[in-house]
């Protein structure tokens, strides 16, 4: 039986793949105010702008490649039962080879009916205004916006409870309910956090903080947890 390694990732793990994080640039994301493009209100007010914004994001993700940090997480499946819970909408974990990835905030390569969140389809190019789902409603990106419920939070919390080792990579942990997931992790297990700038102020018991970029930090985590596995 392999030890269960549960990993919570955020935008910082994809930064070295050239995808911008959200909060490293004064609340502006690729020059856009998050409130104007990533909220349910924004979609009601100006759906064409929101659609265009996510069409651009989809292009960016298509051009990006998994970096070493994504690849190390995929390789760790040889020695650990790795379960990733990501806030990212990109598919870089999957392209690196990770097999168990739960997306909390949706996926850029999926779209859905604006009326029915269960009518989901794959999409690799642009979604146009006027493109309809089979229920006749406008298609929108399958992204969980601010002001919308995070449907995957309960399965994610249940995964946290099963962790034997816990790792956080590249998230500012300011967006709820995702940030609250750390509270479901068994308190006594070993925990690691990798971030260019450790954001976490609440002390988590048994936490090793590695203040480095994702790839460099993940190399260090790999050594640390492999040593434990061999003991
Ligand atoms: N390596 C490691 N960490 C990095 C790197 C890097 N190269 N670059 C940035 N970081 C860290 C930052 O220090 C920060 O702690 O990544 C984190 C990015 O934080 P955010 O931009 O807030 O991204 P995230 O935590 O994923 O945001 C959560 O907010 O906008 C919503 O739904 C969106 O899923 C997103 C959620």
pTM to 2 decimal places: 0.96
**Two structure tokens written together for 52:** 């265009």
Same fold flag, 1-18+66-105+150-231 and 20-63+110-143: no
Check if 21 has its Cβ closer than 6 Å to any atom of ligand 1.
yes
CATH class held by domain 1-18+66-105+150-231: alpha beta
Kindly list the distances between the CA atom of residue 194 and the CA atoms of 115, 149, 190, 209, in Å, as whole numbers in the listed order: 38, 28, 14, 6
Query: Which of 219, 220, 221, 182 shows the shortest CA–CA distance to 203?
Result: 182
**Two structure tokens written together for 148:** 């919308």
Q: Which CATH number fits domain 20-63+110-143: 3.90.1300.10, 3.40.630.30, 2.60.200.20, 3.30.1600.10?
A: 3.30.1600.10
Per-domain residue ranges for the chain?
1-18+66-105+150-231, 20-63+110-143
The DSSP-derived string for 125-142 is SPPPTT-B-TTSPBEEEE
Dist. CA 20 → ligand 1 center (Å): 9
Q: Are 139 and 114 a contacting pair, CB within 8 Å?
A: yes
Residue 203 pLDDT:
75
DSSP state of 108: E
Dist. CA 78 → ligand 1 center (Å): 27
Q: Tens digits of per-residue pLDDT, 16-74? A: 999 988 887 655 677 888 899 999 999 999 999 999 999 999 999 999 999 999 999 99
């Amino acid at each position: 039986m392999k030890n269960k390694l549960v990993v919570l990732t955020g935008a910082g793990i994809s930064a070295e793949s050239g995808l911008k994080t959200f909060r490293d640039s004064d609340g502006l994301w690729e020059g856009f105010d998050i409130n104007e493009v990533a909220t349910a209100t924004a979609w009601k007010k100006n759906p064409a702008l929101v659609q265009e914004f996510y069409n651009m994001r989809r292009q960016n993700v298509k051009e990006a490649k998994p970096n070493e940090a994504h690849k190390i997480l995929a390789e760790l499946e040889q020695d650990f039962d790795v379960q990733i819970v990501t806030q990212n909408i990109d598919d870089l974990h999957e392209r690196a080879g990770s097999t168990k990835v739960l997306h909390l905030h949706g996926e850029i390569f999926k779209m859905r009916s604006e009326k029915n969140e269960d009518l989901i389809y794959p999409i690799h190019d642009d979604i146009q205004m006027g493109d309809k789902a089979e229920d006749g409603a406008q298609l929108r990106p399958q992204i969980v916006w601010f002001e919308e419920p995070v449907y995957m939070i309960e399965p994610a919390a249940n995964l946290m409870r099963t962790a034997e080792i816990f790792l956080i990579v590249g998230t500012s942990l300011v967006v709820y309910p995702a940030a609250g997931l750390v509270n479901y992790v068994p308190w006594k297990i070993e925990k690691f956090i990798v971030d260019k700038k450790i954001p976490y102020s609440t002390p988590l018991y048994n936490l090793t903080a590695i203040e480095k970029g994702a790839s460099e930090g993940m190399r260090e985590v790999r050594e640390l947890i492999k040593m434990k596995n061999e003991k």
